[in-house]
C-alpha cells in the first residue's frame, strides 16, 4: 500500500517563529489532506490539497503531486498552534492513510 512519511517528527519553536512541515508519499494520489490534532485530541481539517497552493490565514500548504510531496507552512506561530499535524492521502474510496505526524510545540 501507499506509504506516507512526515518530517520532522518533533519540532519545538518559540512563539512568533515560522515552520515548514513536510509530507512525502510513495504513489500518486488524488486526495491529500492536512489535519491538526489539538492537545485535547480533536482532529481539525486544515486543507484539502491534492495539488497546488492554498492559504488560510497564517497557514498555507503546497502539494507538488508530480514529485510526491506536500508542505505545510505555519507563520508567526502561536501557542495554540501546538499539537500534532498529520497529512493523509486517499488510498481509494475516500479511505485515508495517515502519516505518523509532526508534533509541534510552541513555547511562549
Partner 1 sequence: SAVISQKPSRDICQRGTSLTIQCQVDSQVTMMFWYRQQPGQSLTLIATANQGSEATYESGFVIDKFPISRPNLTFSTLTVSNLSPEDSSIYLCSVDGTGRRQFFGPGTRLTVL
The binding site for partner 1 (CB under 8 A) comprises 31, 33, 35, 41-43, 45, 48, 86, 88, 93-101
Q: Which is nearer to partner 1, 8 or 48 (CB)?
A: 48
Shortest distance (Å) from residue 21 CB to partner 1: 14
Shortest distance (Å) from residue 16 CB to partner 1: 28
Q: Which is nearer to partner 1, 1 or 108 (CB)?
A: 1
Shortest distance (Å) from residue 15 CB to partner 1: 25
* Displacement of CA 77 from its chain's centroid (Å): 15
Burial, 87: exposed, middle or buried (Cβ in 10 Å; 0-12, 13-18, 19+)? buried
d(CA 10, CA 38): 15
* Displacement of CA 90 from its chain's centroid (Å): 14
Amino acid at each position: 500500500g501507499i506509504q506516507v512519511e512526515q518530517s520532522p517528527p518533533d519540532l519545538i519553536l518559540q512563539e512568533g517563529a515560522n515552520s515548514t512541515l513536510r509530507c512525502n508519499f510513495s504513489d500518486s494520489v488524488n486526495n491529500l489532506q492536512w489535519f491538526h490534532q489539538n492537545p485535547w485530541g480533536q482532529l481539525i481539517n486544515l486543507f484539502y490539497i491534492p495539488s497546488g497552493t492554498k492559504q488560510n490565514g497564517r497557514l498555507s500548504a503546497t502539494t507538488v503531486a508530480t514529485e510526491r510531496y506536500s508542505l505545510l507552512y505555519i507563520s508567526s506561530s502561536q501557542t495554540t498552534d501546538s499539537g500534532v499535524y498529520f497529512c493523509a492521502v486517499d488510498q481509494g474510496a475516500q479511505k485515508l492513510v495517515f502519516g505518523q505526524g509532526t508534533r509541534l510545540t510552541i513555547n511562549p
